[in-house]
């Protein structure tokens, strides 16, 4: 017997190898080759209008069903085009033209404008908004990739310290921008002293200080005004006051006032006529300003003369007040209508008598003094009756009546509506008469509020300059004009 010494693989090894081979064969036989197509990127694809479609394509290959690691790229064709300049929905088809197993995939491509307009805000250096004020626009522009400049379509809305801007393009895309408003206040309050920087207070009367402070940001800040200095109205002198107002942002303002405390001047009629005598006369009333005027005259014990009409019969009672308070009530005519009163002497006296009866009813006395409407020098009467003024002047003397003209015109009958101009006209007229040695007969109208408003200053100017105010009497200077008819 020979001994077999050669080593042999165990039977089990052969069996396993054989089994493996069989298994591999089975797998290989069972494996199928399949054609695959797979979109690269999304199925639904968007292209912004105006841009071109960059097709990412597909993965096209053949693959083993049981051996997927075995694959091979395949050629494919693309069907369908996308026009990036024409909005719409396009279908792109990818086809593998494989005889045995043709497959295809589809992609939906939408071309549309989805880009919103862009709003650009302008910012002006050092621009600010005062608190509680509306924002003042610094500017903006809006540009859209499709529509171009849309600045004019931008809508703005201010709310709680911000401005919101929005604009929508023709495709419905809305662009927005938000601006935070920068608030600041660099202006101090406006401090207004009622009565001005210089006021006069009569000795012994009350000084009622009055002022307002209004800030552009904070509104009324009157209550925060600090006043330094004080006024003693029981001691004559000049008192300096200062007023300071500071707003919430620290802007401050100071204004000053001088208060002159002095003895109240009072008219003291000496009964003597001369170049320092002023006759204040008021025509055409009474009217709604007459009582105010009477109070002003009373303050300074000034007596005046009223040439009255019945133009405003509701105020006829003022004639009684005028008489009661020491003024002289005279006739001007009832109607003041030139076409009536100057059409004949009879018409004039009928109109005159009517008014004198009203005066009698109110005061208990007839007037003997009067003033012709338009003055004795008027040239309007000749339009209605030539020579009527000459006749009326003669007849008035026969009736024992005295007419008065004036030598100071305030200009309040039409030349001006300014209280300041009335005041200046009157004082310059008085100065001129004084220089010529004549008393002044001043013409004003108590139917004009701006003229009545000048009276207190006229009186104070007169008293401070040594004049005396008197009411006209039958013996007074008549200031006659020349008759011109
Ligand atoms: Zn008149």
pLDDT tens, 409-461?
Answer: 999 998 899 999 999 999 999 999 999 999 999 999 999 999 999 999 999 99
Q: In what order do the strands lie in the sheet with 219-220?
A: 190-193, 211-215, 219-220
- Do the beta carbons of residue 399 and residue 391 sit within 8 Å? no
Q: What is the DSSP string of 209-261?
A: --EEEEETTTEE-GGG-EEE----TTS-EEEEEEEEEE-TT--EEEEEEEEEE
Per residue in 474-485, pLDDT tens? Answer: 999 999 999 988
Average pLDDT over residues 345-357: 97
Using the mean position of ligand 1's atoms as its centre, give its distance from the Cα of residue 300 in Å.
26
Q: In what order do the strands lie in the sheet with 44-48?
A: 44-48, 103-112, 88-96, 77-79
Using the mean position of ligand 1's atoms as its centre, give its distance from the Cα of residue 251 in Å.
54
Using the mean position of ligand 1's atoms as its centre, give its distance from the Cα of residue 389 in Å.
15
Q: Which CATH architecture has domain 32-112?
A: Sandwich (2.60)
What CATH number labels 118-180?
A: 2.60.40
Using the mean position of ligand 1's atoms as its centre, give its distance from the Cα of residue 332 in Å.
7
- Residue 4 is predicted with a pLDDT of 55
Using the mean position of ligand 1's atoms as its centre, give its distance from the Cα of residue 441 in Å.
15
Q: In what order do the strands lie in the sheet with 174-180?
A: 155-159, 162-168, 174-180
Using the mean position of ligand 1's atoms as its centre, give its distance from the Cα of residue 336 in Å.
7
Using the mean position of ligand 1's atoms as its centre, give its distance from the Cα of residue 445 in Å.
8
Using the mean position of ligand 1's atoms as its centre, give its distance from the Cα of residue 285 in Å.
9
255: number of Cβ within 10 Å: 17
- Residue 97 is predicted with a pLDDT of 81
Using the mean position of ligand 1's atoms as its centre, give its distance from the Cα of residue 40 in Å.
105
Residue range(s) of every CATH 3.20.20.370 domain in the chain:
277-470
Phi/psi of residue 209, nearest 5 degrees: -75, 140
Quote the distance between the C-alpha of residue 432 and its chain's center: 45
Q: Pick the most confident of 23-27, 64-68, 215-219, 278-282.
A: 278-282
Using the mean position of ligand 1's atoms as its centre, give its distance from the Cα of residue 350 in Å.
17
Using the mean position of ligand 1's atoms as its centre, give its distance from the Cα of residue 337 in Å.
10
Using the mean position of ligand 1's atoms as its centre, give its distance from the Cα of residue 271 in Å.
27
Using the mean position of ligand 1's atoms as its centre, give its distance from the Cα of residue 189 in Å.
47
Using the mean position of ligand 1's atoms as its centre, give its distance from the Cα of residue 429 in Å.
19
Query: 320, 309, 285: which is closest to 455 by C-alpha?
Result: 285
The CATH class of 277-470 is alpha beta
Using the mean position of ligand 1's atoms as its centre, give its distance from the Cα of residue 465 in Å.
29
Best CATH choice for the domain 190-262 from the list 3.40.640.10, 2.60.40.1180, 1.10.1040.10, 2.60.40.10: 2.60.40.10
- Residue 33 is predicted with a pLDDT of 82
Using the mean position of ligand 1's atoms as its centre, give its distance from the Cα of residue 374 in Å.
6
Indicate the pTM of the whole model.
Answer: 0.60
- Residue 5 is predicted with a pLDDT of 56
Percent of the chain with pLDDT over 70: 99
* Res. 6: pLDDT tops 80: no
Quote the crossing angle between the two packed helices 388-398 and 345-363, to the nearest 10°. Answer: 40
Using the mean position of ligand 1's atoms as its centre, give its distance from the Cα of residue 449 in Å.
15
Quote the crossing angle between the two packed helices 419-435 and 455-464, to the nearest 10°. Answer: 30
Using the mean position of ligand 1's atoms as its centre, give its distance from the Cα of residue 283 in Å.
5
* Res. 3: pLDDT tops 70: no
> Which residues lie closer than 8 Å to 102 by C-beta, 6 or more apart?
35, 95, 96
Residue range(s) of every CATH 2.60.40.10 domain in the chain:
32-112, 190-262
- Do the beta carbons of residue 116 and residue 173 sit within 8 Å? yes
Using the mean position of ligand 1's atoms as its centre, give its distance from the Cα of residue 444 in Å.
9
Using the mean position of ligand 1's atoms as its centre, give its distance from the Cα of residue 353 in Å.
17
Using the mean position of ligand 1's atoms as its centre, give its distance from the Cα of residue 284 in Å.
5
- Residue 1 is predicted with a pLDDT of 46
Name beta bridge partners: 241.
257
Per residue in 69-120, pLDDT tens? Answer: 778 898 999 999 999 999 999 999 999 987 777 889 999 999 999 999 999 9
Using the mean position of ligand 1's atoms as its centre, give its distance from the Cα of residue 238 in Å.
43
Per residue in 362-404, pLDDT tens? Answer: 999 999 999 999 999 999 999 999 999 999 999 999 999 999 9
């Amino acid at each position: 017997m020979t001994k077999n010494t050669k080593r042999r693989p165990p039977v089990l090894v052969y069996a396993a190898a054989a089994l493996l081979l069989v298994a591999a064969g089975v797998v290989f036989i069972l494996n199928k080759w399949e054609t695959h197509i797979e979109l690269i990127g999304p199925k639904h694809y968007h292209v912004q209008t105006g841009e071109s479609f960059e097709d990412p394509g597909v993965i096209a290959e053949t693959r083993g069903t049981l051996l997927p690691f075995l694959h091979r790229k395949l050629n494919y064709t693309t069907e369908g085009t996308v026009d990036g300049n024409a909005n719409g929905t396009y279908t792109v088809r990818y086809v593998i033209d494989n005889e045995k197993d043709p497959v295809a995939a589809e992609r939906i491509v939408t071309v549309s404008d989805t880009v919103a307009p862009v709003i650009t805000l302008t910012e002006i250096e050092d621009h600010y908004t005062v608190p509680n004020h509306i924002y003042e626009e610094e500017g903006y522009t809006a540009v859209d990739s499709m529509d171009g400049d849309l600045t004019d379509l931008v809508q703005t809305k201010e709310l709680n310290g911000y401005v919101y801007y929005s604009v929508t393009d023709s495709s419905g895309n809305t662009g927005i921008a938000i601006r935070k408003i920068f608030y600041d206040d660099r202006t101090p309050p406006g401090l207004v002293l009622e009565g001005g920087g210089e006021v006069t207070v009569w000795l012994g009367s009350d000084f009622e200080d009055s002022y307002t402070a209004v800030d552009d940001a904070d509104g009324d800040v009157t209550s925060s005004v600090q006043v330094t200095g004080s006024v003693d109205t029981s001691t004559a002198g000049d008192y300096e006051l200062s007023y300071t107002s500071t707003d919430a942002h620290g802007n401050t303002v100071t204004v000053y006032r001088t208060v002159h405390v002095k003895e109240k001047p009072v008219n003291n009629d000496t009964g003597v006529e001369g170049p320092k005598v002023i006759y204040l006369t008021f025509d055409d009333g009474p009217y709604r300003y007459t009582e105010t005027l009477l109070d002003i005259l009373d303050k300074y014990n000034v007596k005046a003369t009223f040439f009255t009409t019945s133009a405003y019969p509701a105020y006829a009672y003022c004639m009684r007040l005028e008489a009661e308070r020491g003024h002289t009530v005279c006739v001007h005519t009832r109607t003041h209508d030139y076409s009536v009163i100057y059409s004949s002497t009879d018409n004039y006296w009928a109109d005159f008598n009517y008014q004198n009866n009203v005066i009698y009813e109110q005061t208990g006395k007839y007037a003997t003094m009067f003033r012709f409407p338009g003055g004795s020098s008027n040239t309007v009467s000749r339009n209605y009756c030539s020579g009527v003024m000459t006749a009326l002047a003669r007849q008035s003397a026969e009736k024992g009546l005295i007419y008065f003209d004036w030598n100071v015109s305030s200009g309040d009958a039409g030349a001006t509506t300014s209280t300041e101009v009335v005041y200046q006209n009157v004082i310059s007229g008085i100065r001129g008469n004084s220089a010529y040695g004549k008393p002044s007969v001043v013409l004003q109208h108590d139917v004009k509020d701006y003229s009545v408003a000048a009276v207190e200053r006229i009186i104070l100017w007169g008293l401070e300059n040594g004049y005396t105010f008197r009411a006209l009497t039958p013996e007074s200077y008549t200031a006659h004009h020349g008759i011109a008819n």
